[in-house]
Amino acid sequence: MRAVETVARLLLIEDDEETAQDILGDLRGRGHVVAWAQTGPDGAAQARAEPFDALILDRMLPGLDGLTVLQQLRGEGHRVPALVLSALGTVDERIRGLRAGGDDYLAKPFALAELAARLEALLRRPADTRETLLRVGSLEIDLITGTGRRGTRDLDLLPRELKLLEYLMRRPGQVVTRALLFEEVWNYRFTPKSNLIDVHLGRLRRKLEAEGEPPVIHSVRGIGFSLMPDD
């Protein structure tokens, strides 16, 4: 399931050729246009010269550290979304990355699908998060009253299920990973056993499809989930 509608112009700043080729191959395969810089100064120069939709920066770069590059760009007023990659997986490192102006942080080793999903999340930040009445296909939720409907049928949703559904409905067609869901819906950072998230989604799914309606939440094997409009 490749639900990429956006073609984004991306800049990858990564010194390791092997890793870079894997990332380039994957992202280009998803239809993105990706430029590659191998050093910090080169990456900074490219980022200044051309408008990109997002940056992917390695934390450790020869010549100029990834975070320094990012800080420089932010200091010059570049607001381009940035995802920081690092072999340093510690939480303190993550906080440092976000403080330097990163919008997301991904520790190596990571699944390429996780990187792609997070990039898409960065590229397609929901336009209006203040909207309280969401509608995707036959699904409808009202965040003020905390109620949901599938077609004409009222859904009996627990608060967490409502949050989960809201998150998915704000990103229809987008693949979200378990880690992303846990971070954004539960608001905690670590990698819980994957089946825990699956069980929550399974419950939500059963409620959405209780009367034999067609599925709206689809599992994307090895990656996560995606909510597809049913019309």
Partner 1 sequence: MIDPFRSTRLRWAAGIALWSVLLALATFAFVYWQTASFLREEVAETLRLEVRAAAADPAAAAGRVDTWIAMDLHARHAAGLFAADGRRLSGNILAMPADLAPDGDAARVPARVDLGERTIDDEIWAAALALPDGRTVVIAHDTDEIDRVRATSLRALGLGLLPTLVVSGLGGWLLASRARRRLAATEAALERVMRGDLGQRLPVGARDDEFDRLAGNVNRMLDEIERLLHEVRSVGDAVAHDLRTPLTRLRARLERTRDGAETVVEFRDAIDQGLVWIDQTLAMVTAVLRIGEIEHGRRFAGFAPVDLAPLVREVAEFFEPVAEDKEIALSVTTEPGIPPVAGDRDLLFEAVSNLVENAVKFTPPGGRIRLRLARSGADGIVSVEDTGPGIPESERERVFRRFYRAEPARHTPGHGLGLGLVAAIAHLHGFRVEAAASPEGGARFALRCRSRPGAVPANIPHEA
Residues that bind partner 1 (CB under 8 A): 89-92, 95-96, 109, 111, 160, 186, 188-193, 195-196, 199-200, 202-203, 221-222
Dist. CA 32–CA 4, nearest whole Å: 9
Give the start-end residues of each E strand in the chain.
9-13, 33-37, 54-58, 82-86, 104-107, 133-136, 139-142, 147-150, 153-155, 175-177, 217-220, 224-227
Nearest approach, Cβ of residue 97 and partner 1 (Å): 11
CB closer to partner 1, 75 vs 188:
188
Helices of type H across 108-213: 112-123, 159-169, 178-181, 194-208
Nearest approach, Cβ of residue 81 and partner 1 (Å): 23
Amino acid at 223: I
Long-range CB pairs of 19-25 (<8 Å, 24+ gap) are: 19/58, 19/108, 22/112, 23/56, 23/112, 23/115
Nearest approach, Cβ of residue 35 and partner 1 (Å): 29
Distance set, CA 200 to CA 98, 120, 135, 164 (Å): 29, 23, 21, 9
Coil/strand/helix, residue 16: coil
Nearest approach, Cβ of residue 214 and partner 1 (Å): 23
Nearest approach, Cβ of residue 8 and partner 1 (Å): 26
CB closer to partner 1, 34 vs 217:
217
CB closer to partner 1, 108 vs 135:
108
Nearest approach, Cβ of residue 90 and partner 1 (Å): 5
CB closer to partner 1, 90 vs 132:
90
CB closer to partner 1, 114 vs 140:
114
Nearest approach, Cβ of residue 80 and partner 1 (Å): 25
**b/e per residue, 88-97, with b = 16+ CB within 10 A?**
eeeeebbebb
CB closer to partner 1, 52 vs 182:
182
CB closer to partner 1, 40 vs 148:
148
**b/e per residue, 13-27, with b = 16+ CB within 10 A?**
bbbbeebbeebbebb
